[in-house]
């Protein structure tokens, strides 16, 4: 939380944002004040404003009901716990619709573990999920044996989390093994709303996975592989959640010359370009993977059965590998589930202080002269366009800043002058060669 006094504009805007859900004139006033703040303060105030809009004043309390099943919630208010990795597999395997029904079934009827068809259909309607009776029956047939079991008496028996994780993991190994190559179910749950169209729920599963990863910096190609979709699908999901998901373009820059070190030459892509600083220094910059930041989504405070689910998924993956079946001895499933064979060394740091502390620990372990270590990326801040700026460094010396680049207009003048300079020298060399 930011430190602000009672006379500070940030404190005043934050105090007014509390009444956004009660007084309609408050929201435009707060947004007008926040437009004059910097990025951190503006995000702080707007987040409080969005929370006030999402959480209106509480209604008068009603006496508790002792009946079962519980009363149907108001449309658009039901939040359920979802394993983000299980939701990712459901997106990749086209199982999102039965997954949503299973989540409502577990949330509303988890104590007896079953529900009548008519009662479950009414619960889905009360949760804000619009579907016809025929579509509901098709979903029950599609998820039978995977998410629930059907009996002749019209009951729907929900499957447990561990069993669902095993079945979904086994199906992913058959249809798309890349879905479980590096990530498996069994992580901390997130709370997601289930109301609205199915496309919106898919976007929420995508945002929930990014919440579990805690605002990652990841390439779109990697996201397409993890979710088994195209870039257009990712763009559509991000457009559906403008208040929940923010995509921040990121750029990496360096003041070092790639001709002096081969490690830099391997890290600088072909689309890199030069830019000019305020001190007339020419440096290199290129666009890097975006930073994804989520708001208004929360994780469950405890891990629940995530460890059991991860071990169960690891057993399914192990049993699908013939080489491991025939190998002597039985591998430890817990080590297999939490192994780090596919992890890469840390290369991105949030602040310069964290990077210097890492280099000091590295020197204490006598690894400073390790020539095989790759360069590191250190976050340097946001530029005037709110782009995340990282610096590619080889040691503790950080030479660039987020605001060192000159304006686009001045840089265009500099580029035209450089072009005239190169053209003049080329004509001079041609005249000398002809003479």
Tell me the pLDDT tens digit for each residue of 292-301.
999 999 999 9
Instruction: Give Cβ neighbours of residue 83 (< 8 Å, ≥ 6 apart).
Output: 161, 165, 185, 186, 187, 189, 306, 309
Nearest to 316 by CA among 201, 168, 424: 168
Write down the pLDDT at residue 71: 43
pLDDT at 337 over 60: no
Write down the pLDDT at residue 364: 77
Backbone angles phi, psi at 288, to 5 degrees: -120, 180
C-alpha 102/C-alpha 146 separation (Å) is: 10
User: Of residues 62 and 98, which shows the higher confidence score?
Assistant: 98
C-alpha 206/C-alpha 212 separation (Å) is: 10
Tell me the pLDDT tens digit for each residue of 276-292.
999 999 999 999 999 99
The per-residue pLDDT of the chain, averaged, comes to 83
Q: Is 286 exposed, middle or buried (0-12, 13-18, 19+ CB in 10 A)?
A: middle
What's the mean pLDDT in 91-110?
Answer: 96
In 3-state terms the chain splits into helix, strand, coil percentages (rounded to 5) of 45, 15, 40
H or E element that contains 334? helix 333-337
Q: Are 331 and 105 in contact (CB under 8 A)?
A: no
C-alpha 97/C-alpha 419 separation (Å) is: 57
Percent of the chain with pLDDT over 90: 55
Question: CB count, 10 Å around CB of 207?
Answer: 24
Q: b or e along 172-206 (b: 16 or more beta carbons within 10 Å of the residue's beta carbon)?
A: bbeeeeebbeebbbbbbbbebbbbbeeeebbbbbb
Tell me the pLDDT tens digit for each residue of 219-261.
999 999 999 999 999 999 999 999 999 999 999 999 988 888 7
Nearest to 46 by CA among 188, 244, 201: 244
What's the mean pLDDT in 129-140?
Answer: 95
User: Of residues 228 and 7, which shows the higher confidence score?
Assistant: 228
Write down the pLDDT at residue 65: 36
What's the mean pLDDT in 30-55?
Answer: 71
Q: Are 105 and 124 in contact (CB under 8 A)?
A: no
C-alpha 312/C-alpha 310 separation (Å) is: 5
Write down the pLDDT at residue 118: 94
Beta bridge partners of 116: 155
Sign of CA dihedral 97, 100, 106, 112: negative
- Judged by DSSP in three states, 274 sits in strand
Write down the pLDDT at residue 187: 94
Tell me the pLDDT tens digit for each residue of 384-415.
889 999 999 888 889 999 999 999 899 999 99
Instruction: Give Cβ neighbours of residue 430 (< 8 Å, ≥ 6 apart).
Output: none
Beta bridge partners of 388: 250, 382
Tell me the pLDDT tens digit for each residue of 197-216.
999 999 999 999 999 999 89
C-alpha 397/C-alpha 352 separation (Å) is: 10
pTM equals 0.76
CA torsion 306-312-314-319 (nearest 10°) is -170
C-alpha 398/C-alpha 254 separation (Å) is: 9
The pLDDT confidence band at residue 54, using thresholds 50, 70 and 90, is low
C-alpha 234/C-alpha 223 separation (Å) is: 8
> What is the bridge-based pairing of β-strands 376-382 and 388-393?
antiparallel
Q: Are 134 and 82 in contact (CB under 8 A)?
A: no
Output DSSP code: residue 181: S
């Amino acid at each position: 939380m930011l430190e602000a006094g009672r006379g500070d504009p940030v404190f005043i805007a934050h105090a007014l944002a509390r009444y956004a859900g009660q007084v309609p004139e408050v929201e435009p006033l707060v947004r007008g004040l926040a437009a004059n703040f910097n990025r951190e303060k503006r995000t702080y105030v707007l987040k409080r404003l969005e929370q006030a809009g999402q959480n209106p004043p509480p209604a008068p309390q009603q006496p508790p009901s002792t009946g079962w099943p519980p009363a149907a919630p108001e449309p658009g208010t039901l939040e359920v716990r979802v394993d983000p990795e299980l939701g990712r597999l459901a997106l990749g395997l086209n199982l999102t619709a039965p997954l949503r029904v299973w989540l409502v079934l577990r949330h509303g009827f988890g104590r007896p573990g079953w529900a009548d068809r008519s009662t479950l259909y009414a619960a889905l309607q009360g949760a804000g999920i619009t579907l016809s009776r025929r579509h509901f029956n098709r979903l029950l047939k599609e998820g039978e044996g995977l998410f629930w079991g059907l009996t002749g008496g019209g009951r729907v028996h929900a499957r447990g989390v561990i069993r669902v994780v095993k079945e979904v993991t086994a199906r992913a190994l058959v249809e798309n093994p890349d879905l479980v190559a590096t990530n498996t179910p069994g992580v901390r749950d997130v709370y997601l709303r289930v109301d609205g169209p199915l496309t919106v729920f898919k976007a929420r599963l995508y945002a929930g996975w990014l919440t579990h990863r805690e605002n990652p910096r990841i390439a779109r190609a990697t996201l397409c592989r993890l979710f088994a979709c195209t870039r257009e699908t990712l763009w559509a999901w991000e457009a559906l959640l403008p208040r929940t998901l923010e995509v921040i373009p990121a750029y990496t820059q360096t003041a070092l010359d790639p001709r002096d070190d081969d490690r830099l030459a391997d890290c600088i892509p072909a689309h890199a370009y030069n830019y000019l600083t305020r001190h007339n220094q020419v440096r290199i910059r290129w666009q890097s993977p975006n930073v994804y930041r989520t708001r208004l989504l929360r994780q469950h405070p405890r891990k629940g059965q995530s460890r059991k689910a991860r071990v169960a998924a690891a057993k399914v993956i192990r049993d699908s590998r013939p080489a491991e079946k025939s190998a002597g001895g039985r591998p430890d499933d817990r080590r297999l589930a939490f192994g780090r064979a596919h992890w890469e060394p840390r290369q991105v740091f949030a602040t310069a202080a964290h990077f210097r502390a890492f280099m000091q620990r590295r020197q204490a372990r006598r690894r400073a002269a390790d020539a095989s270590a790759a360069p590191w990326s250190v976050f340097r801040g946001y530029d005037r366009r709110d782009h995340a700026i990282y610096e590619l460094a080889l040691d503790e010396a950080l030479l660039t800043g987020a605001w060192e680049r000159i304006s686009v207009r001045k840089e265009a003048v500099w580029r035209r002058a450089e072009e005239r300079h190169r053209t003049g020298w080329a004509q001079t060399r041609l005249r000398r060669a002809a003479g």
